[in-house]
């Protein structure tokens, strides 16, 4: 009876994430649950990996089947039925993804230290978990008008944690798009942004003005 309840609990993705704490003990059960949807999971993971840097570990996938049961949780505020939740236990990260539009809806750390494991809101500022919001400046390094605005829209759709605080023109002409971790403490975010816009992580070019932001994106041709 307990096994049946656990399976139903995982498949319906109820309001509690208590099963994370019991993950190791239910590992075999989770693998059996995933087998029927393994092909679907692999296809979605492949799409997801193109727009965000994924942890190097096997993810647990669950499907949002009743968003009303989850509406009180910040992580599921914008969830829709059919959305997938990918749980990366070692990395302590959860990603809410919408296959129908190929968009990441939410990313949040998993708190495994409390008696009842939970997902923390992106707006949480409590230590040791920091806010996932990243301040991004976008420079147009080409002569194409409106490129920065288009890049802002694209980034916000793919990476909800991006907060574009400045759009401007660069001082130089760039053939390639580069992403700069201005303060040296947003490596993961820089890699995710670079992957999302087909850019390369680099250092601040000589002579380029440094904005008041965490990350600078210079768009190339």
Give the rounded percent of residues in the chain with a pLDDT score beyond 70: 72
Coil, strand, or helix at residue 8? Answer: helix
Query: In 10 A of CB 173, how many CB atoms?
Result: 10
Distances (CA, A) of 98 to 84, 144, 190, 191, 213: 6, 31, 22, 21, 29
Whether this model's pTM surpasses 0.75: no
Distance CA 211, CA 214 (A): 9
The predicted structure's pLDDT at residue 38: 62
Given a contact cutoff of 8 angstroms between Cβ atoms, the answer to whether 148 and 139 are in contact is yes
Q: In what order do the strands lie in the sheet with 200-202?
A: 162-169, 134-140, 215-219, 178-181, 200-202
Residue 137 near residue 168 (C-beta atoms within 8 A): yes
Taking Cα atoms as reference points, which of 212, 129, 207, 122 lies closest to residue 166? 212
Q: 164-194, pLDDT tens digit by residue?
A: 999 999 988 999 999 999 998 888 889 889 9
9-13, 150-154, 188-192: lowest mean pLDDT where?
Answer: 9-13
Q: Do residues 122 and 106 lie in contact, with contact meaning Cβ atoms separated by under 8 Å?
A: yes
Is residue 134 within 8 A of residue 182, CB to CB? The reply is: no
Tokens of residue 96, six digits: 């809410």
Q: Which helix (H) or strand (E) holds 150?
A: helix 147-158
- CA-wise closest residue to 64 among 44, 84, 78: 84
Tell me: pLDDT of 137 over 90: yes
What pLDDT shows up at residue 169?
A: 93
| Of residues 156 and 142, more confidently modeled | 142
pLDDT band at 210 (very low <50, low <70, confident <90, very high): very high
Q: Contact 105/98 with Cβ under 8 angstroms?
A: yes
For residue 165, what pLDDT is reported?
Answer: 92
Q: What is the pLDDT of residue 114?
A: 40
Mean pLDDT of the residues in the chain: 75
Task: State how far the Cα of 48 lies from the Cα of 108, in Å rounded to an integer.
Answer: 15
What confidence score (pLDDT) does residue 39 get?
66
Give the pLDDT mean for 123-140. Answer: 60
So what's the pLDDT on residue 199?
Answer: 92
Q: How far apart are CA 191 and CA 213, in angstroms?
A: 16
Tell me which of 66-80, 106-120, 191-205 is least confident: 106-120
Q: Domain 134-219, what fold? A: Alpha-Beta Plaits (3.30.70)
pLDDT tens-digit series, residues 13-49: 433 343 343 334 334 333 434 444 566 788 889 999 9
Strand partners, 219: 140
For the chain, which residues make up each domain, given as ranges? Answer: 2-119, 134-219
Helices and strands (H and E) in the chain: how many: 5, 10
């Amino acid at each position: 009876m307990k096994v049946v309840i656990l399976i139903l609990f995982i498949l319906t993705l109820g309001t509690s994430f208590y099963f994370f704490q019991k993950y190791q003990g239910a590992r075999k059960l989770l693998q059996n649950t995933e087998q029927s949807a393994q092909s679907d999971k692999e296809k979605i993971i492949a799409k997801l990996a193109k727009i965000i840097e994924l942890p190097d570990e096997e993810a647990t996938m669950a499907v949002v089947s009743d968003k009303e049961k989850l509406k009180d949780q910040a992580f599921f505020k914008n969830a829709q039925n059919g959305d997938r939740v990918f749980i990366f236990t070692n990395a302590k990260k959860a990603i809410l993804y919408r296959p129908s539009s190929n968009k990441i809806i939410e990313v949040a750390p998993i708190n495994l230290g409390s008696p009842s494991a939970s997902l923390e809101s992106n707006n949480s500022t409590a230590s040791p978990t920091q806010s996932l919001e990243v301040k991004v400046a976008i420079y147009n390094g080409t002569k194409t008008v409106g490129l920065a605005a288009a890049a802002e829209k694209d980034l916000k759709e793919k990476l909800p944690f991006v907060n574009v605080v400045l759009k401007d023109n660069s001082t130089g002409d760039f053939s390639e798009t580069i992403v700069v971790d201005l303060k040296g403490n947003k490596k993961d975010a820089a890699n995710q942004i670079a992957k999302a816009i087909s850019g390369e992580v680099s250092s601040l070019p000589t002579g380029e003005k440094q904005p008041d932001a965490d990350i600078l994106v210079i768009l190339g041709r």
